[in-house]
């Protein structure tokens, strides 16, 4: 409040032409700071959006779907593509039973065509003993 009284007292000491020039100058400054504020708010919102996307990508559940804030309702009748071709061809020997559920062991189809070999690397007796004294296998 004291600052405004100071400004008005200073303006009364100026002539009418100087007052008009000062008002015009202050109006330009106000417009400049308004546009600067709008740009900063826009860049802040953009950075916040990028940060939220990064958080969702880094820490969000991998099965989490993006939910549009302007249209949060998901489509109830959306069909998901589920491949049942592989599940029909599974033998009982491929099923591993675990205490609470059954898990289907899927064969590695991508690398089945590649040749495989077992390599045994010879190690001397001195290298078979760990620093703690136990024998390595």
pLDDT in tens, 6-24: 777 777 778 888 888 888 8
Rounded distance, CA 64 to CA 57, Å?
Answer: 9
Q: For residue range 39-95, what is the model confidence (pLDDT) as tens digits?
A: 999 999 999 999 998 888 888 766 555 666 676 666 666 555 445 455 556 666 666
Q: What is the DSSP letter of 3?
A: H
pTM reported for the whole predicted model: 0.37
| Domain limits, the chain | 2-59
Which positions ≥6 away from 90 have C-beta within 8 Å? 104
Separation CA 92–CA 83 (nearest Å):
19
**Is residue 28 very low, low, confident or very high in pLDDT (cuts 50, 70, 90)?**
very high
């Amino acid at each position: 409040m004291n600052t405004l009284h100071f400004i008005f007292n200073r303006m009364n000491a100026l002539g009418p032409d100087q007052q008009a020039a000062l008002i015009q100058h202050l109006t330009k400054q106000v417009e400049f700071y308004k546009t600067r504020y709008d740009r900063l708010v826009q860049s802040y919102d953009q950075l916040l959006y990028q940060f939220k996307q990064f958080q969702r990508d880094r820490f969000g559940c991998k099965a989490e779907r993006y939910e549009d804030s302007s249209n949060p309702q998901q489509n109830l009748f959306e069909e998901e593509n589920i491949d049942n071709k592989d599940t029909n061809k599974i033998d009982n020997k491929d099923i591993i039973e675990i205490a609470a559920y059954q898990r289907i062991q899927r064969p590695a189809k991508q690398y089945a065509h590649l040749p495989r070999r077992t390599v045994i690397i010879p190690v001397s007796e001195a290298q078979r003993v760990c620093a703690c004294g136990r024998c390595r296998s």
